[in-house]
Amino acid sequence: MLVLTAAAMGASAQSYPVKSIRFFVGYAPGGGTDIMARAVAAKLSDSLGQQVVVDNRPGANANLAAEIAAKTPADGYTVLMISVSHAISKPFYKKLGYDIERDFTPLIEISVVPQFVAVHPSLPVKTLQEFIALAKKRPGQIPFASSGDGSPEHIAAELLKSMAKIDMIHVPYKGGSPAALALISGEVAIGFNTAPVAIPHIKSGRVKALAVTGAKRNSALPDVPTVAESGVPGYAMNTWYGAVMPAGTPAAIVSKLNAEINKIIKMPDIRERFAGLGADPVGGSPEQFGANIKSEVAKFTKVVRDGNLGQ
């Protein structure tokens, strides 16, 4: 019986897919997550010979789509696009309808996008070190913008507060663009925003970049140092994107899709499209992505606890 079951599973994986695959995205069409998902889905459709349909289910900070995907059959025909937001949500929200580690099996990490720490030009600082010194002189007086409570930008700022031992006032906005506009207008003194949103305003001189949050400098603005280089050793915060499947999805199918997506993100046109978003392709094995999710959840659990955050 075990031999027959294994043989049947092997045959199933070889013939997979026999119908369309649904790619859930927890955000509205047009954003960075959606653009990356559609780029990968289109190539997957070509390579697999079956349609890969992007299903946008925005709501609840991308948690609505995750809750729906977690309840679908683990038959290989459901993929969920996730981001660092899902690792943050696990400790941030006390009541979630899913668990990103328990209810899903990792598929692949697709890309990473850093954030930029920028200030209004009127602020009398030229470096992050100078800003930290100023913040220590003005505890609880400097407002910072993020794209919302529990957003990656919010958590990046909270991580800086914790590691640099400074206190700032959080001013949440309804998205990255409104947060950027608030910084440009001078409503807030400092802002955290992803590369696609921040870079145009930095290049135009409307805001002044102090640091990039990733572990390495960004190729679009190579002269901007990392936060770790700027006096906060060990700091690293990226907005990463990846894909998972419902827990229990056959390993052979996960392996097949992982191999296909690894090929896709190495394609020149995909790399060019990602570069336009300030994103670096990642790739790798499901196990590597799973280890990263686990590490990120642990890191953000500490940030949420230390900052007395969460809902």
Both structure tokens of 159: 């991580």
Q: What is the pLDDT of residues 245-290, one digit of tens each?
A: 999 999 999 999 999 999 999 999 999 988 888 889 999 999 999 9
Q: Which of 30, 29, 42, 25 is nearest to 79 (CA)?
A: 25
Q: Are residues 92 and 131 located together in one domain of the fold?
A: no
Q: Which of 66, 71, 76 is nearest to 15 (CA)?
A: 76
Q: Are residues 145 and 44 located together in one domain of the fold?
A: no
CATH number at residue 73: 3.40.190.150
Residue 33: exposure state from Cβ atoms within 10 A (0-12, 13-18, ≥19): buried
Contact 104, 244 (CB under 8 A): yes
Domain membership flag for residue 42: yes
Q: Are residues 89 and 136 located together in one domain of the fold?
A: no
CATH number at residue 213: 3.40.190.10
Domain membership flag for residue 12: yes
If pLDDT is split at 50, 70 and 90, which confidence band does 10 have? very low
* Residue 226: DSSP 8-state: B
Question: Taking all residues of the chain, what is their mean pLDDT, rounded to a whole number?
Answer: 92
Domain membership flag for residue 97: yes
- Bond into 17 cis (ω within 30): yes
pTM for the whole structure: 0.85
Question: Final residue of a domain: which of 230, 265, 285?
Answer: 230
Q: Are residues 218 and 258 located together in one domain of the fold?
A: no
Q: Are residues 152 and 224 located together in one domain of the fold?
A: yes
Q: Are residues 220 and 242 located together in one domain of the fold?
A: no
Residue 145 three-state SS: strand
Domain membership flag for residue 190: yes
Q: Are residues 9 and 94 located together in one domain of the fold?
A: yes
Q: How many folded domains does the chain comprise?
A: 2
Question: Final residue of a domain: which of 177, 211, 230?
Answer: 230
Domain membership flag for residue 118: no
Contact 83, 113 (CB under 8 A): no
Sequence-separated (6 or more) residues with CB below 8 Å from residue 7: none
List the domain range (segments joined by +) for residue 146: 123-230
Domain membership flag for residue 221: yes
Q: What is the pLDDT of residues 165-218, one digit of tens each?
A: 999 999 998 888 889 999 999 999 999 998 888 999 999 999 999 999 999 998
Rg (Cα) of the chain, in Å, rounded? 20
Q: Are residues 102 and 204 located together in one domain of the fold?
A: no
Contact 85, 61 (CB under 8 A): yes
Question: Final residue of a domain: which of 230, 252, 270?
Answer: 230
